[in-house]
Structure 1
Amino acid sequence: MKKTRYALLVVLSLSRLNAIAQSAGKINDTLQKKIQLVEKGLVGLIQTEGQAPWTIQDRMAHYKVNGVSVAVIRNYKIEWAKGYGWADAAAKRPVTDKTLFQAASISKSLNGVGVLKLVQDGKLDPDKDINQYLTSWKFPYDSVSKHKIINTKNLLSHTAGLTVHGFGGYSNKDSLPTIIQILNGSKPANSDPIRSMFEPGLRSEYSGGGITISQLIVMDITHQPYDQFMYQNVLKPMGMTASTYTQPPVNTKPELLATAYRDNGTAVEGKYHIYPEQAAAGLWTNPTDLSKYIIETQLAYQGKSSKVLNQATTKLRLTPYLDKAAALGVFIDENSGTKYFQHGGANEGFRCQYFGSLDGGNGVVVMVNSDDGAIMNEIINSIAKVYNFNGLYRSKVYKEVAVDSTVLQSYVGKYEMRPGFNLSITREGNKLYGRATGQGKLDLFAEAQNKFFLKVVPVEIEFIKDDKGKIIICRIYQGGVNDAKKIE
């Protein structure tokens, strides 16, 4: 009797296991179909009516991008992560979900977490003068700052009015400067001194220089190397154990590092640049690890986790400071009623972008080892469409119209955008072209008799007549409205 009952239990258990396996198989099949839809559904920020989508392989070839790595977050979990192409083309080393890329300015987001950890622990008041915390170097205030202090919130939100937008890095043959040499712009630093450009608190003006000051604040408060503090207090607690701020990444297996490439597909000398400006540009990571940061931020924002920052500190980090978008290490985007925290990055031979929704637990990370990051928007558009991520699908469809050559000719001329910077409109047959001072010639495509659009960037141009029918203004729509007066 016992044997029969035991046999019956075994059969029932096996039946349940088979059912679970079949269910998992269906889930995997469904997921694989979604991944394939993403891979075949790339579209740009600008589409024309009837235009077919591209595949990820098509666009990698088009842009000469060697490697791409992607992760999708859904409902506070990593839905999938996948690599494409080559981490190193010469060695035929493929990109995997473990391949590390330079995160470039995305480093600033994780830096914000580290700095606010010090705030949360009561070691730093983010509203006080930074010179209260800087001990190895002091910021040299001058008349430009107009007797206003710079605080840590200013540094993280780019509202300190400081110079040095970004950094070019160093080759493996260069002598590396200390952090203080970088701040002072002294040899062997290859960047300018970090000084006041205008008074703090006036507006947001992106400054990697300001973030580098926050790096020194962390070091002066903790008396630890920056990379060591960040690994132990930020990366490791969030599970980002594959990631490192160490520059160069001496303790990381070389085969895990992606090689950097120019936009023509040739490798950067020495395979990649070194960034002692660790807080601003020095993180090596991958989309899987960045997804862990995004998910932890989303859960902490909801009060459901506190691996590094609690809910109150996370909300502080995600709140824009003196600006509608620039928060403390992140930018807040709102589109179609959905808010995302996000950051992009651009180092020599690397481009990257992430988005994480404040609610709902959705997100995306894309990293490429190329100077050309145009494919990233196309991948994000495809993911947003497949997964119905509200506010992330940002492609606009235009319908081209025919415009008579005599009408096109009336738009030809020179338009002054500002003193010394003009837009020249020319015609060749039934095509109109625009060229801004110091820039290349771009095709203009008609969406109406007097309105045109570009296919390479989201810009629209409208020609305005006076009451006598004479063209007097070229109105440019690009992050706002700018009028250029016709001068020739």
Structure 2
Amino acid sequence: MMNKIKHALLLLLMTATSFANAQTSANDTIQKNIRLVENNLVGPIRVEGEPSWSIQERMEHYKLNGVSVAVIRNYKMEWAKAYGWADAAKKIPATNKTLFQAASISKSLNGVGILKLVQDGKLDQDKDINQYLTTWKFPYDTVAKGKIINIKNLLSHTAGTNVHGFEGYNNKDSVPTIVQILNGTKPANSDPIRSMFAPGLRSEYSGGGITISQLILMDITHQPYDKYMYQNVLKPMGMTGSTYQQPPVDTKPELLAKGYRGNGSEMKSKYNIYPEQAAAGLWTNPTDLSKYIIETQLALQGKSGKALNQANTKLRLTPYMDKSAALGVFINDMDGTKYFEHGGANEGFRCQYYGSLEGGNGVVVMVNSDDGGIMNEIINSVAKVYNFKGLYHSKVYKEVAVDSAVLQTYVGKYEMNPGRILYITREGNKLFGQATGQGKLDLFAETQNKFFLKTVPVEIEFIKNEKGQVITCRIYQGGAHDAKKIE
């Protein structure tokens, strides 16, 4: 009997040791991947032979105070890590619990909340929104051409409504009610929400339309927006550190990141207040957003339903009257891999997330700055380290030398469209381009007559006539656009 007990204990010890070794090995792999991500940042444009950067180097380059990242692999958050400061002046470090303003990513979670009303039988996604609005009615006019706006129009930006985004209010401003925002009356600092064109013609981004959906939710539930969203969306998905409160009065101040300008300077107030909660009011972090992404991925497969069931998750992720605009998210086919995604830009904050529709992969990046340039660089690094197909976007150029005499033939004024000129100048062996109202940018040669920018994916080609004279500057940016040489 004693021998059997000893044998059982030995097996248990061996199993525990094996499990511990496996855990150690997995943790070592994760730490290795974190270091690889941290040291392999690249931008959308690279020059052959140019080394990659570290997160620290790019934070210094962009004058960033804080960055927070999370990586999702195989339906689990593999790791999350924050860098720098939540508040530089007070020396409060950014941590995984630090909350950032999610800006327009708020619209994604709002889509979950609105479709929860559909799922509960309290809202019909195809009916006129005025059937559900009680404290305000959308003022249809002749622009709408007799067509109704439904909730799917609002969430997919196909309602034809105006007001792209909101600038928020500082801590000394009077904050308007939702009805004042929708009517554009003081103290609202945005235009009235009205029709620009008939519903259903096309998708045109409208934070104004999303704000109408906020009031619909409040009118149906008779609850404050932030309370409903916490109880029915955030809490069920495990996002208990997040809030739609504006301002977040129930959150410890040290957990709130301070917003900064692109040059690293502080905002006048620590952060702006956004009463347009559905469009821009979520405070969260990459760890909590990972829970939302994973829940979406699992619900899509019918393996979870903490907030929405499979049918309503499919509805939310299905583009409506547009190839990419779904109900609170954008669906992008990236080299054969489909992702649901959204970005955000509030005063002093930038953010972006991607979640794959299959495979359970994703990434979230948030910064407390007006400059989000580092985000795509981090996403590129994550995509390369983890082989996330479709997320890596970095084109490599080989720079060539061009004689200054040849460069001089390109110097001049090129008319892009009436009143908008592209000025090409030369300084020694360097060529520069400057469009009306914009700063001067370096042009780098990839051939004797074709140049590229390192900051944005734009190429410029100089076209000659049969006499060898430069007559056109062809600009490649979302297609080819010709600018005629006028001087």
Task: Specify the TM-score bucket, using the shorter chain as the normaliser.
Answer: over 0.9
Alignment correspondent of 2:63: 64
Alignment correspondent of 2:192: 193
Equivalent residue runs for 1:276-291 within 5 Å: 276-291=275-290
Alignment correspondent of 1:311: 310
Equivalent residue runs for 1:60-459 within 5 Å: 60-459=59-458
For residues 470 and 134 of structure 2, the distance between their equivalents in structure 1, rounded to whole angstroms, comes to 61
For residues 106 and 139 of structure 1, the distance between their equivalents in structure 2, rounded to whole angstroms, comes to 25
1:404-436: CA deviation from partner (whole Å, max 9, x where unpaired): 223222222222222222211112222111111
1:227-286: CA deviation from partner (whole Å, max 9, x where unpaired): 111111111111111111011000111111111111121222231111100000000001
1:126-160: CA deviation from partner (whole Å, max 9, x where unpaired): 22221121111111122222222222111111122
1:314 maps to a residue whose letter is T
1:169 maps to a residue whose letter is G
Q: Please, what TM-score do these two structures have when normalized by structure 2?
A: 0.97
Specify the SS of the correspondent of 1:268: coil
For residues 284 and 181 of structure 2, the distance between their equivalents in structure 1, rounded to whole angstroms, comes to 24
Deviates more, 1:374-383 or 1:124-133: 124-133
Alignment correspondent of 2:54: 55
1:300-344: CA deviation from partner (whole Å, max 9, x where unpaired): 112221111122211111111222111111111112111111000
Alignment correspondent of 2:21: 22
What displacement does 1:14 show?
2.1
1:381 maps to a residue whose letter is N
Deviates more, 1:233-242 or 1:305-314: 305-314
What displacement does 1:440 show?
0.4
For residues 481 and 221 of structure 1, the distance between their equivalents in structure 2, rounded to whole angstroms, comes to 49
Q: Structure 2: where are the runs of 5+ without partners?
A: none
For residues 401 and 365 of structure 1, the distance between their equivalents in structure 2, rounded to whole angstroms, comes to 37
What displacement does 1:459 show?
1.0
1:3-42: CA deviation from partner (whole Å, max 9, x where unpaired): x433343333222222211221111111101100000001
What displacement does 1:479 show?
2.2
For residues 148 and 436 of structure 2, the distance between their equivalents in structure 1, rounded to whole angstroms, comes to 38
Specify the SS of the correspondent of 2:414: strand
- RMSD, matched Cα: 1.3
For residues 472 and 220 of structure 1, the distance between their equivalents in structure 2, rounded to whole angstroms, comes to 61
Structure 1 residue ranges, 4+ long, deviating more than 6 angstroms after superposition: none
Specify the SS of the correspondent of 1:186: coil
1:347 maps to a residue whose letter is N
Deviates more, 1:151-160 or 1:473-482: 473-482
1:329 maps to a residue whose letter is G
For residues 288 and 19 of structure 2, the distance between their equivalents in structure 1, rounded to whole angstroms, comes to 29
1:76 maps to a residue whose letter is Y
1:228 maps to a residue whose letter is K
What displacement does 1:464 show?
2.2
Q: Please, what TM-score do these two structures have when normalized by structure 1?
A: 0.97
Specify the SS of the correspondent of 2:324: coil
For residues 484 and 146 of structure 1, the distance between their equivalents in structure 2, rounded to whole angstroms, comes to 38
Deviates more, 1:162-171 or 1:143-152: 143-152
For residues 300 and 478 of structure 2, the distance between their equivalents in structure 1, rounded to whole angstroms, comes to 29
For residues 30 and 329 of structure 2, the distance between their equivalents in structure 1, rounded to whole angstroms, comes to 30
2:18 maps to a residue whose letter is A
1:172-208: CA deviation from partner (whole Å, max 9, x where unpaired): 1111100000111111111111112222222221111
For residues 198 and 448 of structure 2, the distance between their equivalents in structure 1, rounded to whole angstroms, comes to 46
1:89-113: CA deviation from partner (whole Å, max 9, x where unpaired): 1121111111111100000000011
For residues 121 and 483 of structure 2, the distance between their equivalents in structure 1, rounded to whole angstroms, comes to 52
Specify the SS of the correspondent of 1:411: coil
Matched residue pairs, number? 487
